[in-house]
Structure 1
Amino acid sequence: MSHTRTLAWHETLELHELIASQSVGLIKVKKSLKKIRDPQLRHLYSMAARGLEGNLRELLPFLPKAPVFHREDERADLFFEAGELLALAKTSVRNYAIAITETATPELRRVLVKQINAAIRLHEQVFQYMYQRGLYPAYNLTELLRGDAMHAQKAISMR
């Protein structure tokens, strides 16, 4: 096994996607946990939160090995709210793409194509919103990774 000083660009981008999506997911799970009354479901949510926290704690030490790194920001709440919507749109596009490849009924295929196009437009609009406000610096890997680290730390520390 090789011990490199930096990650490759492609694995850095995958690391970004994992940290960003799991940070947003952790915030969502922790916010939902406060509202859940059913003990068994509450336990499942607690397990999910611990799992996501553990994942982030294991992934964060790799960020300093990225080809570029470091950031501080105070707009984390806005990032999480917009990021949650961006993740929903992205997941919808992926889910529709899979569903379309499994569809044999022409009428259903037309509906799914219409809906995937709407999900693609939503993703673009949310991305542009985030990009224009500096919440998603897609063309600046240093800033992108700094934001990932900050958002993940905030998600972990949230009670």
Structure 2
Amino acid sequence: MSLEERKTLAWHETLEIHELVAAQSTGLMKLKKSIGKMNDAELRRIYKQAIGDTELNLNELIRFYPSAPSVSEREESEREDTGFYAGELLMFSKTLVRTYAGAITETATPVLRKTLINQLLRSIHCHERIFNYMHKKGLYPAYDLEALLNHDLQNAKKALEMK
């Protein structure tokens, strides 16, 4: 069966799409909030292009959501700023973990390697704390795929509709 004929995405690719949509929705909101502060015309043009590219990415990715594996139904409650800020910290900590892991593999100096490992561990603990907070508050339904994807769609829609 070809990819075009497949009606359901695999769980792992659905979760990767979730990560991309969640990160880009938050990023798009931040870009749209920041562009009005840009005095430099060239930087403003770059921001506009980044906004347009991110909107295109989101619109392309959310088209795959109807093909996500089916799970039990659940209403997703309205998210307030707390969810946005918590999600921003979650993405920041996740990015740091990935960045530190890559940097460690490029490090030859033992004292620098030890420093980076300690900083990686702090980043991992930060990620754990914010994830646990979000999960406890119902802001990240990690074990409910349908709710997770519905939340992504709400955030993507909100980001796309922002002026």
TM-score, length of structure 1 as denominator length: 0.94
1:85 to 77, 81, 89: 89
> Shift of residue 120 of structure 1?
0.5
> Shift of residue 3 of structure 1?
1.3
**C-alpha deviations, 1:25-73, integer Å up to 9, x for none?**
1111111112111110011011101100011111111101111377543
Q: Which runs of no fewer than 5 residues in structure 2 stay unpaired?
A: none
Distance in 1 (alpha carbons) for counterparts of 2:76 and 2:146: 12
Distance in 2 (alpha carbons) for counterparts of 1:11 and 1:23: 18
RMSD: 1.4
Q: Where in structure 2 are the equivalents of 1:115-134 lying within 5 Å?
A: 115-134=119-138
Q: Give the letter aligned to residue 113 of structure 1.
A: I
C-alpha spacing 1:59/1:76, structure 2 compared with 1 (3 Å): farther
> Shift of residue 76 of structure 1?
4.5
> Is the Cα–Cα contact under 8 Å of residues 76 and 151 in structure 1 kept in the other structure?
no
C-alpha spacing 1:76/1:12, structure 2 compared with 1 (3 Å): farther
Q: Where in structure 2 are the equivalents of 1:14-93 lying within 5 Å?
A: 14-68=16-70, 71-93=75-97
* Local SS of the residue matching 1:34: helix
Q: Which residue of 1 aligns with 2:145?
A: 141
Distance in 2 (alpha carbons) for counterparts of 1:83 and 1:17: 11
Distance in 2 (alpha carbons) for counterparts of 1:115 and 1:130: 22
* Local SS of the residue matching 2:54: helix
1:9 to 5, 8, 11: 11
Q: Which runs of no fewer than 5 residues in structure 1 stay unpaired?
A: none
Q: Percent sequence identity over matched residues?
A: 53
* Local SS of the residue matching 2:77: coil
TM-score, length of structure 2 as denominator length: 0.92
Equivalenced residues, count: 159
Distance in 2 (alpha carbons) for counterparts of 1:4 and 1:109: 45
Distance in 1 (alpha carbons) for counterparts of 2:61 and 2:9: 12
Q: Give the letter aligned to residue 142 of structure 1.
A: E
**C-alpha deviations, 1:61-88, integer Å up to 9, x for none?**
1101111377543214322211111111
Distance in 2 (alpha carbons) for counterparts of 1:76 and 1:27: 14
Distance in 1 (alpha carbons) for counterparts of 2:35 and 2:123: 28
